[in-house]
Amino acid sequence: MNRLGELERAIMDVLWEAQEPLTVREVSGQLTERDLAHTTVMTVLDRLAKKGFARREREGRAWRYRAAESREGYVTELMLSALAQTGDRQAALARFVRSVSGSEAQALWRALQALGGAIRG
Amino acid sequence: MAVIAIGCVQAAAWLAAARWPRRSPVVAIVLWQAIGLGWGLAAVGTLLGLAASRQRYGVAGDALAQVARFLRSPGTFSGWTVLATARLAALTAGLVLLTLLCWVLLAAATAGLRARQRQRLLLSLLAHGDPKVPGALVVDHPVAAAYCLPGLRSAIVISAGTLDLLDARELAAVLAHERAHLRERHDLVLLPFVALLRAFRWSRAAREAHRAVALLIEMHADDRARRHRPARELATALLRVGAAGGGHAPSGALSAVDTAMDDDVDGEVAARVSRLLRPAPGLPVPVLVLIGIAAAVAVAVPAALLVVPF
């Protein structure tokens, strides 16, 4: 991953951990990489806001940033789109195997057992 | 032309129901593409052919000439007789169908690109690597899922649930399967059928065609993976991930005493597993040649009728 991508990710991690909206300075303070220029952090936060991952609000003279949605929310979106059974989202990705339920799943479990596979999970 | 268009739909229904494509997925996929293209050409050709009043330049040329004449002097267009109106309607329908087919192909491609872009964006923030699956991205979610993002910046994505569910050898089999998808750009092979489904969602034939081609592509990727990994590991990976979606193993199934793969089990996962464990021999060469000829005819004949005067 490129440098900018790593920074975006590190900053999102800070925003996800935070209980309340943070200023640029507070974000800088919580990054493991300490010697980043103030403007660099601000630029990345602006990029994240443009992409819709961060929201910003004015407080006095400073902007405060928070994550637009929780990490779990984004993971759910990712998985829902990956597990979609129909439509364009399904067509966009190639799934290893469609999961099944009911009698077909039971038959698969039986087959697995017949193969001598230990049943885990 | 109409006969060819109907023939293509008939051939598609027959091909979707046939068992032999599973023995040689690649030639079957080629045949599907040919039938799809042949149907498109013949369907457009039928409508344009109805519109042509004179057979001079072939169906496509005649239709173009018709359009040119109409645009030049719409008022005097062969008089507004019933026949001329019907011709105009057929011409319009033909052009609309042609536009629709091109449009859905473009729309399906764009929708796919956009969905993958969103996935990449989210993955760049959320996913991490894991030594258990070198080269793949791991997403921390308990549901078992494994998929790939085709494209120039491709990626294989494995959920934490899958990491827990499969052992190292099964994971390697899954990766080999997904790499085959990425390497051979299977998304592009399926794209025309995704587009067809988009245009004719109500049509059983379009749904069946899409389903059949998608399954053949999966089987082909299974075959590719089997070159590098034992078939059995891929089969158990398929069974585990496939059945994991149905929740935990039902207690009844755990005590079941069936000792062999149930042949009656219908379903795509079962079909893939059973051909991994009991591979049927590939189709003999003469049959493959015949299928190749059939595919060529399915495209060449409607294409020739479009451009050659008859």
Contact residues on chain B for A101, CB-CB shorter than 8 A: 245-247
Instruction: Give the mean pLDDT of chain B.
Output: 86
Q: How deeply is B34 buried, as exposed, middle or buried, from its count of CB atoms within 10 A (0-12, 13-18, 19+)?
A: buried
Average pLDDT on A74-93 reads: 75
Q: Residue by residue, what is the 3-state secondary structure of B133-148?
A: CCCCEEECCCCCCEEE
Q: What are phi and psi of B148, to 5 degrees?
A: -130, 155
pLDDT at position B75: 61
Whole-angstrom distance, CA of residue A10 vs CA of residue B160: 21
In eight-state DSSP terms, residue A1 is -
A-B Cβ pairs (cutoff 8 Å, strict): 192
pLDDT value, residue B23: 93
Q: Are B116 and A93 in contact (CB under 8 A)?
A: yes
Q: Does any CB of chain A come closer than 8 Å to the CB of residue B229?
A: no
Question: Is the pLDDT reported for residue A61 higher than 50?
Answer: yes
Q: What is the residue-averaged pLDDT of chain A?
A: 82
Most trustworthy range by pLDDT among A59-63, A84-88, B99-103, B305-309: B99-103
Are B164 and A75 a contacting pair at CB < 8 A?
Answer: no
Q: How far apart are CA B272 and CA B292, in angstroms?
A: 24
pLDDT given at position B55 = 63
Say yes or no: A104 contacts chain B, CB-CB below 8 A: yes
B-chain residues within 8 Å CB-CB of A112?
236, 239-240, 243
* Distance in angstroms (rounded) separating the CA atoms of residues B238 and B91: 50
Chain B: closest CA distance from residue A60 (Å): 30
d(CA B86, CA A42): 66
Q: Does B176 have pLDDT greater than 80?
A: yes
Query: CA–CA separation, B171 vs A46, rounded Å?
Result: 39
Please report the domains of chain A, with CATH numbers, ordered by start residue. 3-67 (1.10.10.10), 71-114 (no CATH)
Angle between helices A3-17 and B82-126 (to 10 degrees): 70
Cβ–Cβ < 8 Å for A117, B239: yes
Tell whether A61 is within 8 A of chain B (Cβ). no
Element (H, E) at B24: none
Residues A64 and A14: their CA atoms lie apart, in Å, by 13
Residue type (1 letter), B32: W
* ipTM at complex level: 0.84
| A118 in contact with chain B, both atoms CB, cutoff 8 A | no
How far apart are the C-alpha atoms of B51 and B64, rounded to whole Å?
A: 10
**Which residue of A14, A110, A115, A120 is the best one to mutate when testing the B interface, meaning the one whose CB has the most B CBs within 10 A?**
A110
Chain A residues close to B185, C-beta within 8 Å: none
- Please answer yes or no on whether A75 and B177 come within 8 Å at the CB atom: no
Note the pLDDT of residue B307. Answer: 83
Residue type, A20: E
Q: What is the mean pLDDT of residues A21-40?
A: 87
Of the candidates A110, A10, A58, A37, the one whose C-alpha atom is nearest the C-alpha of residue B269 is A110
Distances (CA, A) of B68 to A10, B64, B71, B77: 62, 6, 5, 11
Report in angstroms the alpha-carbon separations of A69 from A16, A54, A73, B159: 8, 8, 6, 20
> What mean pLDDT do residues B194-212 have?
91
Question: For residue B174, is pLDDT > 70?
Answer: yes
Chain A residue nearest residue B247, CA to CA: A101
Asked if B57 and B65 touch (Cβ cutoff 8 Å), the reply is: yes
**Nearest chain B Cα distance for residue A101, angstroms:** 4
Q: Where are the domains of chain B?
A: 1-126+281-310, 127-246+269-279
What is the pTM assigned to this prediction?
0.86
Cα separation, B119 vs B121, in Å, equals 5
- Nearest-by-Cβ selection for B246 from A94, A101, A115: A101
- pLDDT of residue B79 exceeding 70: no
Residue type, A13: D
Is residue B278 exposed (0-12), middle (13-18) or buried (19+ Cβ within 10 Å)? exposed
Task: Flag the least confident range among A4-8, A54-58, B96-100.
Answer: A4-8
| A2/A94 Cα distance (integer angstroms) | 26
C-alpha to C-alpha distances, B72 to A9, A56, B52, B53, nearest whole angstrom: 61, 59, 17, 17
The answer, yes or no, to whether residue A87 has pLDDT greater than 60, is no
Cβ of B126 within 8 Å of Cβ of A74? The answer is yes
* Alpha helices, DSSP H, located in chain B: 2-17, 25-51, 58-72, 82-126, 160-165, 168-183, 186-199, 204-228, 231-244, 251-254, 268-277, 285-307
Is residue B22's pLDDT more than 80?
yes
Yes or no, beta carbons of A104 and B174 under 8 Å apart:
no
Does the distance separating the beta carbons of A81 and B118 come in below 8 Å? yes
Count the Cβ atoms, other than its own, within 10 Å of residue A62: 12
| Interface check B239 vs A, CB under 8 A | yes
Task: Tell me whether B196 touches chain A (CB under 8 Å).
Answer: no
Please indicate whether, in this complex, the C-beta atoms of A82 and B250 are within 8 angstroms of each other. Answer: no
A64 touches chain B (CB under 8 A): no
- List the beta bridge partners of residue B93: none
How far is Cα B133 from Cα B161, in angstroms, rounded to an integer?
A: 13
Q: What's the pLDDT tens digit per position in B124-168?
A: 999 999 999 999 999 999 888 899 999 888 999 999 999 999 999
Cβ–Cβ gap B270/A104 under 8 Å: yes
Owner of token pair 């319009």? B92
A115 touches B: beta carbon within 8 Å: yes
Using a CB–CB cutoff of 8 Å, tell me whether B147 touches chain A: yes
pLDDT mean over B67-86: 70
Taking each helix axis as running N to C, give the angle between helix B268-277 and helix A102-114, from 0 to 180 degrees, rounded to the nearest 10: 20
Q: Is residue A105 over pLDDT 90?
A: no
Question: Do residues A56 and A67 make contact, with C-beta atoms less than 8 angstroms apart?
Answer: no
B162 to chain A: nearest residue by CA?
A121
- Give B47's contacts (C-beta < 8 A, 6+ positions apart): B90, B91, B93, B94, B97
Please report residues of B whose CB lies closer than 8 A to that of A95: 145-147
- Residue A1 confidence (pLDDT): 53
Which of A15, A45, A108 to mutate to test binding with chain B, by most B CBs within 10 Å of its CB?
A: A108
